[in-house]
Structure 1
C-alpha cells in the first residue's frame, strides 16, 4: 500500500541525478562557480553600461537590459543551490526551497521567451517600418511590453505552483534531476493530474505557439525587406538581428533538449550527458548572451573601448 502525502506535508525532496564524484566534486564546484561569477559580472557590466550611457537609452537597449536582468534572476535561482548540492553528501532540499526554485526557473524561462519575442517585434518595426518606428514604439509602449514580459510569467507560475502543484498528493520525493523541476514533481503524484495536463497543453497552444508565430512573422517580414531593400538596409538588419537570432536559437535548442528529456525516456544516454543537457538552457543562455550582444552591437563595443582606454564618452 502506497503512502500518499499532500505536497504541503512533504518536508524535503531528494535530487536523485547527483552522483558521488569523490574529490572531483571540488573541480565541478570550481567550474560552475566560475560560470556563475562570469554570468554575474558580464550581465551586471552590460546593465551598467546601458543605464549609464544616454546614447543607449533606446527601445532595443531597454529590452536588452530587461533580458540581462532576467539572466541574473535565472542564474541566481539555479547556481547557489546547485553549488551547495555539489559539495553536499546528502542531496536533499526542503520542499519550500524546492518550490521556490521551480518558481524562479520556470518564470525565468517565461520572461526570456517573452522578451525575445518583444525584441523580434521591435526589430520588425525598426527595419520594416523605420519612418513610423518612433511614433509606434513610444515610452509608454516600451514600459507596457517590458511589464508584460515579466508580469505574465510571474503570475502564471504563481498559479501553477499554488493552485495546480501544491494540492497534489505525492507517492515519493525523489526528483531525478540536479535541480527542482515542476514536471518531475507532478510525475510523483498519485492523484489525478488531468487539470495540470490540460492547463499545460492550453498554455502551449495559446501562449507559446502564439509567440512562436509572432517571431516567425517578424523574421519573414525582415527577410523580405532585406532581399528587396538596399545594401545599407541589409547591413542594418544583419548587425541588429544576428545576435538576437543567435540568442533565440540557442535558447530554443536548450528548451527543446529539456522538453525532450522530460517527456521521453532517455535512460540509454550517459547520465553525465543527461545532466549537461538539462543544465544547458539555464547555464549557456546567461553566459552566451552578454558575449553575443557585447561583441556584435557596435555601440556597446565602442563604449567598451572607451571604458577600457579611459576615453571620454
Structure 2
C-alpha cells in the first residue's frame, strides 16, 4: 500500500469527521427545537446517536489498520450479522404499513410515501451494502483493484452513517425548516455581535 495508506487514512478521517458533524447538527436541531420533541424525531435522534456510536467504534479501528496495513474484512461481516434481524423486522413493518396505506385515501398514500421514502432509501442502501460485503467476502475478488475492494467493504460503515442525517435533514420539512431557522438565527447573532464591536 506504501504511500497510499496516508491518503486512505486521510479519506477515512474526513469521512469520520463528516459523519460526526452531520449527525451532531441534526441532533442539535432536534434538541433545540421544542416542536421536534415528538416520537418520530426522538427516534431519529437515537438513530443518529447510533450512527455516531457505530462510526466511532469502526472508523478509528479502520484508520489504525490502514496505517499498519492490516485490513480486516471480518468487521463488516460481523456488523451485517448483528443487524440482519432488526432489518428484517423493519422490512416487515414497512410491508404492513404499505398494505394499510394502499387501502387509504389519496392523501394518506401521498403522506405515507413522503414519510416512508427516507426510511426505504436507508433500508435499501443498507441491503446493498450487505450484498456488496457478502459478494466481496464469498467470491474471488483478485481481479478487482484492492482499493476498490476496501471501499466496497466499508460502504456500510462510511456511506450509511453519512447518508441518514443528510437525507432526513433535507427530506423531513420540520427538520429542514428548523435547520434554516437555527442557521438564520446564528447568522443574525454573529452579524449583531460584529456590528456591536
TM-score interval (norm. to shorter): 0.7 to 0.9
Per the TM alignment, residue 184 of structure 1 is displaced from its structure 2 partner at its CA by 8.6
Deviation at 1:211, TM superposition (A): 5.1
Q: Is the 8 A contact 2:5 2:69 kept in 1?
A: no
Count residues with an aligned counterpart: 184
TM-score by length of 2: 0.80
Pair 290,223 (structure 1): closer, same or farther in 2 beyond 3 Å: same
Query: Displacement, 1:30?
Result: 2.8
Instruction: Determine if the alignment matches structure 1 residue 49 to structure 2 residue 29.
Output: yes
CA contact (8 A) 2:73 2:153 kept: no
Q: Matched residues in 2 for 1:226 and 1:305: separation?
A: 31
Q: Which residue does 2:133 correspond to in 1?
A: 258
Equivalent position to 2:69, from 81, 85, 91 = 91
Change in CA separation of 1:30 and 1:217 when aligned onto 2, cut-off 3 Å: closer
Match of 1:267 among 142, 147, 151: 142
Cα offset, 1:291, TM superposition: 0.9
Deviation, structure 1 residue 239? 1.8
Given the alignment of the two structures, is residue 280 of structure 1 paired with residue 155 of structure 2, yes or no?
A: yes
Aligned-partner Cα distance in 2 for 1:279–1:183 = 7
Q: Give the equivalent residue in structure 1 for 2:48.
A: 68
* Secondary structure of the structure 2 residue equivalent to 1:310: helix
Aligned to 2:118: 243
Aligned pair in 2 of structure 1 residues 71, 229: CA closer, same or farther (>3 Å)? same
Task: Indicate which of 10, 14, 38 corresponds to 1:58.
Answer: 38
Q: 1:84 to 1:217 in 2, by over 3 A?
A: closer
Asked whether the 8 Å contact 1:243–1:293 carries over to 2, the reply is yes
User: Which sections of structure 1, spanning at least 5 residues, go unmatched?
Assistant: 1-18, 93-177, 186-202
Q: Does 1:307 align with 2:189?
A: no
Which of 206, 215, 219 is matched with 2:94 structurally? 219
Relative to structure 1, is the Cα distance of residues 28 and 67 closer, same or farther in structure 2, using a 3 angstrom cutoff?
Answer: same
Is the Cα contact below 8 Å between 2:23 and 2:49 reproduced in 1? yes
Larger radius of gyration: 1
Whether contact under 8 Å (1:183, 1:262) holds in the other structure is: no
Change (3 A) 1:267 1:180: closer
How far off is 1:296 after superposition?
Answer: 0.4
Aligned to 1:290: 165
Distance 1:79 1:216 in 2: 27
1:251-288 deviation per Cα after TM superposition (whole angstroms, max 9, x unaligned)? 11112211232233333322222111111011000111
Describe the SS at the equivalent of 1:269: coil
Unaligned runs of 5+ in 2: 187-197
Pair 1:229 & 2:122 matched: no
CA distance in 1, matches of 2:183, 2:137: 44
1:101-120 matches, within 5 Å, as none
Quickly say closer, same or farther: Cα 1:211–1:254, change in 2 above 3 A: closer
SS of aligned partner of 1:29 = helix
Whole-Å separation in 2 of the counterparts to 1:301 and 1:261: 37
CA distance in 2, matches of 1:309, 1:91: 45
Structure with greater proportional helix content: 2
Structure with more relative contact order (C-alpha pairs < 8 Å, separation 6 or more): 2
